Structure 1
Protein backbone atom coordinates (compact mmCIF):
# COMPACT_ATOMS: atom_id res chain seq x y z
CA UNK A 1 0.00 0.00 0.00
CA UNK A 2 2.68 2.52 0.99
CA UNK A 3 4.83 1.63 -2.01
CA UNK A 4 1.88 2.34 -4.29
CA UNK A 5 1.41 5.68 -2.56
CA UNK A 6 5.13 6.34 -3.00
CA UNK A 7 4.84 5.73 -6.75
CA UNK A 8 2.17 8.42 -6.92
CA UNK A 9 3.71 10.88 -4.42
CA UNK A 10 7.47 10.26 -4.12
CA UNK A 11 8.13 13.71 -2.67
CA UNK A 12 5.59 13.41 0.15
CA UNK A 13 7.38 13.20 3.53
CA UNK A 14 4.56 11.29 5.21
CA UNK A 15 4.51 8.63 2.51
CA UNK A 16 8.28 8.19 2.86
CA UNK A 17 7.98 7.96 6.64
CA UNK A 18 5.21 5.37 6.45
CA UNK A 19 6.97 3.28 3.81
CA UNK A 20 10.21 3.34 5.77
CA UNK A 21 8.67 2.33 9.07
CA UNK A 22 6.58 -0.36 7.39
CA UNK A 23 9.66 -1.89 5.77
CA UNK A 24 11.61 -1.79 9.04
CA UNK A 25 8.78 -3.46 10.91
CA UNK A 26 8.48 -6.05 8.16
CA UNK A 27 12.20 -6.79 8.36
CA UNK A 28 12.11 -7.24 12.13
CA UNK A 29 8.84 -9.11 12.35
CA UNK A 30 9.20 -12.03 9.97
CA UNK A 31 11.81 -14.53 8.96
CA UNK A 32 12.85 -12.97 5.69
CA UNK A 33 15.72 -14.15 3.54
CA UNK A 34 16.54 -10.57 2.57
CA UNK A 35 16.18 -8.96 6.01
CA UNK A 36 19.22 -6.72 5.56
CA UNK A 37 17.96 -5.47 2.22
CA UNK A 38 14.58 -4.69 3.77
CA UNK A 39 16.24 -2.72 6.59
CA UNK A 40 18.38 -0.84 4.06
CA UNK A 41 15.33 0.04 1.99
CA UNK A 42 13.43 1.18 5.07
CA UNK A 43 16.30 3.41 6.13
CA UNK A 44 16.53 4.78 2.58
CA UNK A 45 12.91 5.91 2.81
CA UNK A 46 13.59 7.50 6.20
CA UNK A 47 16.65 9.31 4.84
CA UNK A 48 14.51 10.52 1.96
CA UNK A 49 12.00 11.79 4.53
CA UNK A 50 14.89 13.53 6.31
CA UNK A 51 15.89 15.24 3.08
CA UNK A 52 12.32 16.29 2.29
CA UNK A 53 11.85 17.71 5.79
CA UNK A 54 15.15 19.60 5.50
CA UNK A 55 16.78 17.94 8.53
CA UNK A 56 13.96 18.88 10.87
CA UNK A 57 14.13 17.81 14.48
CA UNK A 58 11.26 15.38 14.01
CA UNK A 59 12.81 13.74 10.94
CA UNK A 60 16.17 13.41 12.71
CA UNK A 61 14.42 11.83 15.69
CA UNK A 62 12.62 9.38 13.39
CA UNK A 63 15.92 8.26 11.84
CA UNK A 64 17.52 7.97 15.28
CA UNK A 65 14.62 5.95 16.62
CA UNK A 66 14.66 3.64 13.60
CA UNK A 67 18.40 3.03 13.95
CA UNK A 68 17.93 2.39 17.66
CA UNK A 69 15.09 -0.02 16.91
CA UNK A 70 17.15 -2.13 14.50
CA UNK A 71 20.21 -2.13 16.76
CA UNK A 72 22.43 0.42 15.02
CA UNK A 73 23.05 2.15 18.32
CA UNK A 74 26.17 4.13 17.42
CA UNK A 75 24.36 5.62 14.45
CA UNK A 76 21.28 6.22 16.58
CA UNK A 77 23.36 8.02 19.21
CA UNK A 78 24.76 10.42 16.62
CA UNK A 79 21.26 11.26 15.37
CA UNK A 80 19.93 11.67 18.91
CA UNK A 81 22.76 14.13 19.53
CA UNK A 82 21.71 16.07 16.42
CA UNK A 83 18.17 16.23 17.81
CA UNK A 84 19.52 17.59 21.09
CA UNK A 85 21.32 20.36 19.21
CA UNK A 86 18.07 21.71 17.72
CA UNK A 87 15.63 23.77 19.77
CA UNK A 88 12.10 23.41 18.43
CA UNK A 89 9.44 25.94 19.37
CA UNK A 90 6.08 24.68 20.53
CA UNK A 91 3.38 24.75 17.91
CA UNK A 92 -0.35 25.24 18.40
CA UNK A 93 -2.44 22.13 18.80
CA UNK A 94 -5.40 21.98 16.44
CA UNK A 95 -8.80 22.23 18.06
CA UNK A 96 -11.90 20.41 16.98
CA UNK A 97 -14.60 22.83 15.98
CA UNK A 98 -17.56 22.53 18.31
CA UNK A 99 -20.68 24.65 18.15
CA UNK A 100 -20.34 25.77 21.79
CA UNK A 101 -16.72 27.00 21.58
CA UNK A 102 -15.55 30.56 21.14
CA UNK A 103 -13.93 30.94 17.69
CA UNK A 104 -11.80 33.87 18.88
CA UNK A 105 -10.09 31.77 21.54
CA UNK A 106 -6.40 31.18 20.85
CA UNK A 107 -5.05 27.70 20.23
CA UNK A 108 -3.19 26.17 23.14
CA UNK A 109 0.53 25.57 22.70
CA UNK A 110 1.52 21.98 22.06
CA UNK A 111 4.66 20.10 22.93
CA UNK A 112 6.72 19.83 19.75
CA UNK A 113 10.28 19.75 21.10
CA UNK A 114 11.65 16.20 20.98
CA UNK A 115 14.83 16.83 22.96
CA UNK A 116 13.53 15.10 26.10
CA UNK A 117 12.58 11.98 24.18
CA UNK A 118 15.92 11.97 22.36
CA UNK A 119 17.80 12.50 25.62
CA UNK A 120 15.97 9.66 27.33
CA UNK A 121 16.70 7.27 24.46
CA UNK A 122 20.32 8.42 24.30
CA UNK A 123 20.61 7.82 28.04
CA UNK A 124 19.39 4.25 27.47
CA UNK A 125 22.12 3.70 24.88
CA UNK A 126 24.80 5.15 27.15
CA UNK A 127 23.57 3.16 30.13
CA UNK A 128 23.54 -0.10 28.20
CA UNK A 129 27.06 0.54 26.93
CA UNK A 130 28.31 1.05 30.49
CA UNK A 131 28.67 4.84 30.41
CA UNK A 132 26.46 5.36 33.46
CA UNK A 133 27.86 8.79 34.34
CA UNK A 134 27.29 10.06 30.81
CA UNK A 135 23.77 8.64 30.84
CA UNK A 136 23.04 10.40 34.13
CA UNK A 137 24.44 13.68 32.81
CA UNK A 138 22.23 13.56 29.70
CA UNK A 139 19.16 13.02 31.89
CA UNK A 140 20.14 15.88 34.19
CA UNK A 141 20.77 18.23 31.27
CA UNK A 142 17.61 17.57 29.28
CA UNK A 143 15.04 15.74 31.40
CA UNK A 144 14.91 17.63 34.67
CA UNK A 145 12.89 20.74 35.41
Structure 2
Protein backbone atom coordinates (compact mmCIF):
# COMPACT_ATOMS: atom_id res chain seq x y z
CA UNK A 1 0.00 0.00 0.00
CA UNK A 2 2.69 2.47 1.03
CA UNK A 3 4.85 1.81 -2.02
CA UNK A 4 1.91 2.15 -4.41
CA UNK A 5 0.80 5.41 -2.81
CA UNK A 6 4.27 6.91 -2.84
CA UNK A 7 4.89 5.81 -6.42
CA UNK A 8 1.66 7.41 -7.64
CA UNK A 9 2.41 10.70 -5.88
CA UNK A 10 5.94 10.78 -7.28
CA UNK A 11 4.59 9.95 -10.74
CA UNK A 12 2.12 12.82 -10.54
CA UNK A 13 4.77 15.30 -9.48
CA UNK A 14 7.45 14.12 -11.87
CA UNK A 15 5.73 13.89 -15.23
CA UNK A 16 3.38 16.05 -17.23
CA UNK A 17 0.15 14.20 -16.75
CA UNK A 18 -3.26 15.41 -17.78
CA UNK A 19 -4.83 13.94 -14.65
CA UNK A 20 -2.16 14.96 -12.14
CA UNK A 21 -4.64 15.76 -9.35
CA UNK A 22 -6.41 12.45 -9.83
CA UNK A 23 -3.10 10.58 -9.59
CA UNK A 24 -2.17 12.40 -6.36
CA UNK A 25 -5.59 11.53 -4.92
CA UNK A 26 -5.12 7.89 -5.85
CA UNK A 27 -1.74 7.89 -4.10
CA UNK A 28 -3.26 9.45 -0.99
CA UNK A 29 -6.06 6.88 -1.07
CA UNK A 30 -3.45 4.12 -0.88
CA UNK A 31 -1.76 5.88 2.04
CA UNK A 32 -5.07 6.32 3.88
CA UNK A 33 -5.88 2.66 3.29
CA UNK A 34 -2.49 1.81 4.79
CA UNK A 35 -3.36 4.03 7.78
CA UNK A 36 -6.66 2.21 8.25
CA UNK A 37 -5.03 -1.22 8.01
CA UNK A 38 -2.21 -0.34 10.40
CA UNK A 39 -4.52 0.94 13.10
CA UNK A 40 -3.40 4.59 13.08
CA UNK A 41 0.26 3.70 13.50
CA UNK A 42 2.90 6.36 13.86
CA UNK A 43 4.56 5.26 10.63
CA UNK A 44 1.36 5.49 8.58
CA UNK A 45 0.57 8.96 9.98
CA UNK A 46 4.11 10.10 9.20
CA UNK A 47 3.83 8.80 5.62
CA UNK A 48 0.63 10.78 5.06
CA UNK A 49 2.19 13.90 6.58
CA UNK A 50 5.24 13.50 4.38
CA UNK A 51 3.08 13.04 1.27
CA UNK A 52 1.13 16.23 2.00
CA UNK A 53 4.39 18.05 2.67
CA UNK A 54 5.81 16.75 -0.61
CA UNK A 55 2.87 17.99 -2.68
CA UNK A 56 2.82 21.37 -0.91
CA UNK A 57 -0.23 21.05 1.35
CA UNK A 58 1.65 22.21 4.42
CA UNK A 59 -1.40 22.88 6.61
CA UNK A 60 -2.51 19.26 6.25
CA UNK A 61 1.07 18.06 6.67
CA UNK A 62 1.37 20.01 9.93
CA UNK A 63 -1.82 18.39 11.23
CA UNK A 64 -0.47 14.89 10.60
CA UNK A 65 3.02 15.71 11.91
CA UNK A 66 1.36 16.89 15.14
CA UNK A 67 -0.53 13.58 15.28
CA UNK A 68 2.79 11.73 15.00
CA UNK A 69 4.22 13.81 17.84
CA UNK A 70 1.26 12.90 20.05
CA UNK A 71 1.74 9.13 19.62
CA UNK A 72 4.08 6.89 21.53
CA UNK A 73 6.18 4.52 19.41
CA UNK A 74 5.52 0.81 19.47
CA UNK A 75 8.26 -1.66 20.25
CA UNK A 76 9.63 -3.18 17.07
CA UNK A 77 12.81 -5.04 16.21
CA UNK A 78 15.74 -3.07 14.90
CA UNK A 79 18.27 -5.27 13.10
CA UNK A 80 21.84 -5.18 14.31
CA UNK A 81 24.83 -5.66 12.08
CA UNK A 82 26.06 -9.24 12.23
CA UNK A 83 29.68 -10.22 12.02
CA UNK A 84 30.99 -12.66 9.46
CA UNK A 85 30.86 -16.21 10.75
CA UNK A 86 28.22 -15.65 13.42
CA UNK A 87 25.82 -18.54 13.77
CA UNK A 88 22.67 -16.56 14.37
CA UNK A 89 21.66 -13.11 13.36
CA UNK A 90 21.03 -11.18 16.54
CA UNK A 91 18.29 -8.62 16.64
CA UNK A 92 17.97 -6.05 19.37
CA UNK A 93 14.55 -4.76 20.25
CA UNK A 94 14.17 -1.02 20.26
CA UNK A 95 11.79 1.68 19.28
CA UNK A 96 10.99 2.79 15.77
CA UNK A 97 10.25 6.36 16.76
CA UNK A 98 9.44 8.90 14.06
CA UNK A 99 8.76 11.80 16.42
CA UNK A 100 12.17 13.38 15.84
CA UNK A 101 11.70 13.35 12.06
CA UNK A 102 8.14 14.68 12.40
CA UNK A 103 9.32 17.46 14.72
CA UNK A 104 12.09 18.48 12.34
CA UNK A 105 9.72 18.57 9.34
CA UNK A 106 7.09 20.48 11.35
CA UNK A 107 9.77 22.98 12.38
CA UNK A 108 10.63 23.47 8.68
CA UNK A 109 6.98 24.20 7.88
CA UNK A 110 6.74 26.76 10.69
CA UNK A 111 10.09 28.31 9.78
CA UNK A 112 9.15 28.68 6.09
CA UNK A 113 5.84 30.28 7.04
CA UNK A 114 7.63 32.88 9.17
CA UNK A 115 6.71 31.48 12.59
CA UNK A 116 10.29 31.31 13.85
CA UNK A 117 9.35 31.20 17.54
CA UNK A 118 6.94 28.33 16.97
CA UNK A 119 9.59 26.47 14.98
CA UNK A 120 12.08 26.88 17.84
CA UNK A 121 9.49 25.70 20.35
CA UNK A 122 8.86 22.50 18.38
CA UNK A 123 12.59 21.77 18.32
CA UNK A 124 12.93 22.55 22.03
CA UNK A 125 10.02 20.29 22.97
CA UNK A 126 10.74 17.28 20.78
CA UNK A 127 14.41 17.10 19.81
CA UNK A 128 17.00 16.28 22.43
CA UNK A 129 20.68 16.47 21.63
- Give the TM-score normalised by structure 1: 0.81
- What stretches of structure 1 of length at least 5 have no aligned partner? 1-15
2:35 aligned with 1:50: yes
- How big is the alpha-carbon RMSD for the aligned residues of Structure 1 and Structure 2? 2.0
Closer, same or farther: CA 102–60 of 1 in aligned 2, 3 Å: same
- CA displacement 1:4-23 (0-9 Å, x = unmatched): xxxxxxxxxxxx11110110
- CA displacement 1:7-62 (0-9 Å, x = unmatched): xxxxxxxxx11110110000000011111111111101100010011100000000
Give the one of 2, 5, 20 matched to 1:35. Answer: 20
SS in structure 1 opposite 2:78?
Answer: coil
- Give the TM-score normalised by structure 2: 0.90
Q: Please, which moves more after superposition, 135-144 or 91-100?
A: 91-100
2:66 aligned with 1:81: yes
Report how many aligned residue pairs link the two structures: 129
Give the one of 72, 77, 92 matched to 1:108. Answer: 92
Give the one of 103, 110, 119 matched to 1:126. Answer: 110
